[in-house]
A and B are shown apart, each in its own frame.
Chain A
Amino acid sequence: MKILLSLLAAIGLVAPALADEVKVAVAANFAAPVKKIAADFEADTGHKVVISTGSTGAFYAQIRNGAPFEVFLAADDETPAKIEAEGAGVKGSRFTYAIGKLVLWSAKPGYVDDKGEVLKKGDFARLALANPKTAPYGAAGVEVLKKLGLAESLQAKIVQGENITQAWQFVSSGNAELGFVALSQVWENGKLTGGSAWIVPAADYASIRQDAILLARGEGKPAADAFLKYLRADKARAVIKSYGYEY
Chain B
Amino acid sequence: MPDSQDLAAVWLTLKLAATVTVLLLLLGTPLAWWLAHTRSRLRSVVSALVSMPLVLPPTVLGFYLLLVMGPNGVVGQATQALGLGLLPFTFPGLVVASTFYSLPFVVQPIQNAIEAIGPRPLEVAATLRSRPLDTFWSVVVPLARPGFLTAAVLGFAHTVGEFGVVLMIGGNIPGQTRVVSVQIFDRVEALEYSQAHWLAGGMVVFAFVVLFLLYALNPDSRRRPA
Chain A contacts for B186, CB-based, 8 A: 131, 133-134
**8 Å CB contacts to B: which residues of A125-148?**
125-126, 128, 131, 133-134
Give Cα A131 to B69, complex, Å.
Answer: 23
The answer to whether A174 and B190 touch across the interface, beta carbons within 8 angstroms, is no
Chain B contacts for A72, CB-based, 8 A: none
B189 within 8 A of partner (CB): yes
Give Cα A174 to B66, complex, Å.
Answer: 10
| Number of B positions contacting A (CB below 8 A) | 20
B70 within 8 A of partner (CB): yes
B200 within 8 A of partner (CB): no
The answer to whether B66 and A57 touch across the interface, beta carbons within 8 angstroms, is no
Distance to closest chain B CB from A114 (angstroms): 24
**8 Å CB contacts to A: which residues of B163-206?**
167, 171-173, 185-186, 188-191
B71 within 8 A of partner (CB): yes
Given contacts A55-B189, A125-B85, A131-B186, contact A159 B173 (CB under 8 A): yes
From A61, A131, A159, A169, contact of B89 by CB (8 A): A159
B127 within 8 A of partner (CB): no
The answer to whether B189 and A58 touch across the interface, beta carbons within 8 angstroms, is yes
Give Cα A93 to B71, complex, Å.
Answer: 46
In the complex, the chain A residue whose C-beta lies closest to that of B172 is: A160
Chain B contacts for A166, CB-based, 8 A: 167
A153 within 8 A of partner (CB): no
Chain A residues with a Cβ under 8 A of chain B? 55, 57-58, 60-61, 125-126, 128, 131, 133-134, 158-162, 166, 169-170, 173-176
A58-B188, A133-B186 known; 12 other A-B pairs, CB under 8 Å? A55-B189, A57-B190, A125-B85, A131-B189, A159-B172, A160-B171, A161-B171, A162-B189, A173-B66, A173-B67, A173-B72, A175-B86
